[in-house]
Amino acid sequence: MLKNLHCKELSLNIETPQVMGILNVTPDSFSDGGNFSQIDAALKQVDQMISYGAAIIDIGGESTRPGAKDVTEQDELDRVIPILKAIKERFNVVVSVDTSKAAVMSEAINCGAGMINDVRALQNEGCLQAVAQHQNVAICLMHMQGLPRTMQHDPQYDNLIVDISTFFQQRISDCKKAGIDASRLILDPGFGFGKSLEQNYRLLAHMAKFKSLDLPILAGLSRKSMIGKLLNREVDERLAGSLATAIIAVQQGAKIIRVHDVKETVDALKILQAIEKNK
């Protein structure tokens, strides 16, 4: 498998697992997301995440939590683009934009995004074409069953791992047909996206099976309800659970871990790496 991912002008070495830090750009009712205090707060958070060892910063302007409302294209652009530009002006870091809209993808790439992270795996209108035009931008294709509003209503699979693998193979093939080289792709099984509690843990236990697809795997488990439900913990009490899942995901072959708590995750992964080195 390839060891370097091209993310625009930057190259990401995924021989050792890398941490993607989640940047909160949650809008408040008094602003459009592009005002100074919000950008200033975001830049401070980015500065911290980089100093703790994040290799990628993931910005998302659409909430994909179960039951979340749709966001308009303009709202998403207004939330994401000013922050993206401000980060790229100041920091030498890969910025990933979490979006499913072709127009947001194009604008984000033009403004310096090195990665597009799409929970809908480029299935929306115009997305394949939008990213096909920029050969050196990485793309994360995530698996989701259903759509955010309803995806947690009794998800069903014939065979969880096989069904997700089949989805990945179809998307990889569609990307190739659209002129997107496989070397740009990252796969994410989509924890919490149309999976029951038991299915999420089965997925974590068997994630190593996706290694046969020969593409880097990204896992996003941080603070998710699969942790909260199992441990009976509110969202701000899920750090220990999140670290445990991050370690297991990397042991199962994940190369990028998407997290809120960068400092703690980097520490936990260093322990795992020391073990790997001394085996």
Question: Which CB atom, from 130 or from 187, has the smaller least distance to ligand 7PJ?
Answer: 187
Question: Which CB atom, from 130 or from 191, has the smaller least distance to ligand 7PJ?
Answer: 191
Question: Which CB atom, from 65 or from 149, has the smaller least distance to ligand 7PJ?
Answer: 65
Between CA 237 and CA 246, with CA 241 as vertex, the angle to 5 degrees is: 130
Catalytic residue among 120, 171, 184, 224: 224
Q: How far is the CB of 142 from ligand 7PJ (least distance, A)?
A: 4
Please report whether residue 220 would count as binding ligand 7PJ according to CB under 6 A: yes
Q: CA-CA distances (angstroms) from residue 26 to 32, 64, 113, 150, 165?
A: 10, 12, 19, 22, 32
Stretch that binds ligand 7PJ, among 45-53, 166-174, 184-192, 269-277 (CB under 6 A): 184-192
Show the tokens assigned to 254.
């994940």
Please report whether residue 210 would count as binding ligand 7PJ according to CB under 6 A: no
Please identify which residue in the block is written with the tokens 């509690």: 197
Please report whether residue 185 would count as binding ligand 7PJ according to CB under 6 A: no
Query: How far is C-alpha 21 from the chain's CA centre?
Result: 9
Q: How far is the CB of 193 from ligand 7PJ (least distance, A)?
A: 7
How many residues form the binding site for ligand 7PJ (CB under 6 A)?
14
Q: How far, in Å, CA of 236 to CA of 41, rounded? A: 20
Comparing CA positions, the residue from 71, 144, 68, 61 lying closest to residue 108 is: 61
State the DSSP code for 11: E
Please identify which residue in the block is written with the tokens 């992270």: 117
Please report whether residue 200 would count as binding ligand 7PJ according to CB under 6 A: no
Between CA 160 and CA 187, with CA 193 as vertex, the angle to 5 degrees is: 70
Cβ pair 186, 144 in contact under 8 A: no
- The CB-nearest residue to ligand 7PJ is 220
Question: Which CB atom, from 108 or from 218, has the smaller least distance to ligand 7PJ?
Answer: 218
Q: How far is the CB of 84 from ligand 7PJ (least distance, A)?
A: 16
Stretch that binds ligand 7PJ, among 34-42, 101-109, 125-133, 216-224 (CB under 6 A): 216-224
Alpha carbons within 13 angstroms on the beta-carbon side of residue 176 total 8
Please report whether residue 44 would count as binding ligand 7PJ according to CB under 6 A: no
Show the tokens assigned to 95.
């910025």
Please report whether residue 216 would count as binding ligand 7PJ according to CB under 6 A: no
Q: Is 224 a catalytic residue?
A: yes
Cβ pair 92, 10 in contact under 8 A: yes
119, 130, 217, 266: which one binds ligand 7PJ (CB under 6 A)? 119
Question: Which CB atom, from 220 or from 241, has the smaller least distance to ligand 7PJ?
Answer: 220
- Residue 109 three-state SS: helix
Cβ pair 97, 80 in contact under 8 A: yes
Stretch that binds ligand 7PJ, among 76-84, 202-210, 218-226, 229-237 (CB under 6 A): 218-226
Comparing CA positions, the residue from 80, 139, 135 lying closest to residue 108 is: 80
Residues that bind ligand 7PJ (CB under 6 A): 64-65, 98, 117, 119, 140, 142, 188, 190-191, 218, 220, 224, 258
Q: Which residues are catalytic?
A: 224, 258
